[in-house]
Structure 1
Amino acid sequence: MLNLPENSLILIVDDTITNLEIISDALTTAGFIVTTARNGEKALQQIQDTLPDLILLDVMMPGIDGFETCQKLKTNPLTQDIPVIFMTGISDIETKVKGLNLGAVDYITKPFQKEEVLARIKTHLQLRYLTKTLEQRVSERTAELSQALKDLQAYQIQIIQKEKMSALGQLVTGIAHEINNPVSCIHGNLDHTANYFNNLIKIIDLYQQNYPEPVPAIQAEIAETDLEYMRSDLPNLITSMKEGVQRIRNISTSLRNFSRPDKDRKVFCNIHNGIDSTIMILKHRLKASKVRPEIEVIRNYGNLPSITCFSGQLNQVFMNILTNAIDALEESNIGRGYSEIEKHPNQIWITTSLSEDKYNAVIQIKDNGVGMSADIQQKIFEHLFTTKLFGRGTGLGLSIAHQIIVEKHKGKLDVYSVPGKGSEFTITIPIH
């Protein structure tokens, strides 16, 4: 059998002094610590100061009897697990069943047999000790399994993130490379086109100076093609094409910056470049549509130095948070007309600054969308938690973002939100 805990405390509750003395002497001799009470009220008062390991409780007592005392013990969360053994001279089945239904573990019948009393007390103390030990082991095992589950989920997120970024990086790099070749060709040829056009215009001017009266066929063609308008408009067309090509080159650069592969060590990077690249990629979701005006992105950039980070992963955090902000804004537009949205426009504010101690970069991304309840805010970074409809959210975006900021960069990712007012995510990252 299990060894009993040393110095087990037994509370004896009996209104008969003789019974108290007999049982107390027997238990003390057996090595137990004994405390006594003459009635149920005093017993309940004593228990408030010190919890016994077992209670011997007389049934028939003045004031509240043993049954009522037991009932009060079992309804109190602090005392409900303490074994109660009734002591009684009544041996009918009905009385015993009533006591057991109230939560007692056993009965001892008066007059007492010393050996029987000790045997029953030891048995129930051993059972209680075994139960407590088992509960502790179950609790410890549950904690271990819970931690193992969290570790597994974190590992799954790492694998998903790594494969996603690797595939995205390869895809985007390939696309950027394919875009760059023809765009560079167009960009270079536009300069040559402008030079050729200027040379042709010079030749036309010379012809007009030396042959001011061209033949009717040439005059008709000049009128047909509207030479003067073409001379004034073609430079504008070339300039517009240059701007379009430059925009494509900027998008290509943003794609390469966003999907920059992270190596085993951190590198210096410009936070603002990463944010701007992400906004450029999300431009198609920000621009105006038939149902709403353009989502305004207001950038308040502070004077941040380049920081040491995994730039590709950090860009993924910006992407996840900004995508969620756009989703929240679109959800807030449900039931609102174009003109109403125009009066109260969808906005995203991005603010960057140094922390007061100058050791951390702080990035705040705020929207005026639907916001979140306190309950959702507590779960927002949990693995697989999502409030979006099936097929629209995986529940991994913010979980991955939290892991990247907290575990990869030893920073903090906090959220503050008010339903109907919007949400604000604050990223804090050590500069070095």
Structure 2
Amino acid sequence: MVDYPTISEQVDDVESARAEGHRKMDWAREHMPILTAIQDEFGDSKPFDGQRIGMAMHVEAKTAVLVETLAEAGADVVVTGCNPLSTHDDVSAALDEHPNIDSYAKRGVDDEEYYEAIEAVIDLEPTITVDDGMDLVAAIHEDYPELIDSIVGGAEETTTGVHRLRAMDDDGALEYPVFAVNDTPMKRLFDNVHGTGESSLANIAMTTNLSWAGKNVVVAGYGDCGRGVAKKASGQNANVIVTEVEPRRALEAHMEGYDVMPMTEAAEVGDVFLTTTGNRDVITTEHFEKMQDGVLLANAGHFDVEVNLDQLSDLAVAERDARDGVHEYEMADGRRLNVLAEGRLVNLASPIALGHPVEVMDQSFGIQFVCVREMVENGETYDAGVHDVPDELDKEIAEIKLEAEGIEYDDLTPEQADYMGSWEHGT
């Protein structure tokens, strides 16, 4: 048993913190019709009764509504953060008040505390895991393999986590089934494109109080997240430059009208650099040496390895906090390079970060819920490994959203369905 305190034992004036956390959750809940409809559907039936759900997520108001929904469905839930700077302590304290929820998430923890909190979640001996980045899954496999037999399955929220899981699966090391929530359309096409695009740019603008108009914005990576950032930056009258390592994505960015070039060239002209690759060392010494005075460096990938801060610190002759959430590195020639949110997820780790828009996360967390439901109901049918979210679950969440928005859409006629399902119809 790990002797690690819940958030309620760590915050000052816990009652005030809980009140503010509930206020934030109430606002989010008002704009989350999918999770609200799900709660209305299961009512008092408690479909997750007897389940123990361990979670490592960004603990803020929208996530809290998902955690609460799982608990209201009857599960015992223990949650911690998946990033040292993304937790809202007041929301974490509000969650910890629920009789079915223990929250160990706290903002600003060091590495040791971060992993101690994950171990505290594992002490629940979860039957289901819900992860954002795969740190919980990795810790279970590496340090607590004896628990794997009692785990029905899991769900993974984000691109980086799915990449890690697939690598683990390829090595034959993943020993229970996990749904790749990130890769399903109702998550990927909205959360990654609109969520990351809007929230990253909004938090950079609020943190710096600077405009996007006329700036050269370098977007590293043109996957779903990079596509969203580029689209939103262009919409705010920025000049977008894309860097890529995958030829088809580079060509796609070019055909969308963006300039495409290697980072070594982009480094010379960029005003703002935003990494979205999920990989390490995207911006390094060779790039820092070419950058203009006053550039902004931000990361929208999961881990803080895309901008090499150790190399940047080695180059600097002086460092200071230029603003809350902005750390300035002064070069020997007087140039100043500014890193936002300590190189961590800028839309969640900056001092005023709120994460993705509420409506977007309602969709993503709706998928998380139905994936947990699928594991509870049919987990024994899934072998160990990474699994796509069943298409009918993805459509179920889309249908709930459309109904909530009052949007009607067409159905195939029987003749159309027959035509689409037949190979015999010719010219």
Instruction: Please report the TM-score for the alignment, with normalisation by the length of structure 2.
Output: 0.20
Higher percent of residues as helix = 1
Which fold has the larger relative contact order, with Cα–Cα distance below 8 Å and residues 6 or more apart in sequence? 2
Return the index of the structure with the highest Cα Rg. 1
Instruction: Please report the TM-score for the alignment, with normalisation by the length of structure 1.
Output: 0.19
